[in-house]
Amino acid sequence: TVQQTNVEDIEVVTNEDPGEQVVVSAGGDEGLTPTVQAETSVGTGTVSVAVYESNPGDIPSFATGGETPDAGTFVDVYVSPTSTFTSTTIVICDPNGGEVAYWWDGLAWSPASHQAYDAQSGCITVTVASEGTSPSIADLSGTIFAAALGYAPVIQSVSISPAVLPVGAPVTASVLFSD
């Protein structure tokens, strides 16, 4: 983590039967607090989920629905590195209206690659696999997720004209954003 915060709720499940799945969830007091649930493929290992009071990562570039950039829905998912699970489905339900899941890789926030939002339930479902997803199962080593109100704009290009100019001369800048 980058910033200190408290954990509101945490649940841990260890499975030793290679023929069973793990389902673990935390949060969700009377629909007023965020919830997180992780459901694995069959396999063995330990899975934990947690709900944070505030943002334990760096300040996000996206809106979280909280009163400040560090407020909003921030949850954590951990899958033990010795687990044999090949996939995990993470469901994040955000009472603040978050529709997009971002994950903290230790350096930056990135949108999860395989996700879907269900407007009826108000939940985001993120699919994580051993390969081909961001994050991957190997990245779930206490990985922070945030529920964003939408995608953060991405700067595609910046151009300044003229390229060389004298001190005090007017400058024209053009910035192309995408979402």
Closest CA to 77 of 44, 96, 101, 113: 101
Query: How is residue 167 written in tokens?
Result: 């001190």
First to last CA, the chain: 27
pLDDT given at position 165 = 72
Q: What is the pLDDT of residues 64-93, one digit of tens each?
A: 877 776 778 999 999 999 999 999 999 999
Cα separation, 59 vs 109, whole angstroms: 9
Residues of the chain below pLDDT 50: 179
Overall pTM surpassing 0.85 (yes/no): no
Size (the chain), residues: 179
- DSSP structure string for 1-16: --S---EEEEEEEEE-
What local confidence, expressed as pLDDT, does residue 97 receive? 87
The pLDDT, as a whole number, for residue 24 is 95
Residue 76: CB atoms within 10 A of its CB come to 21
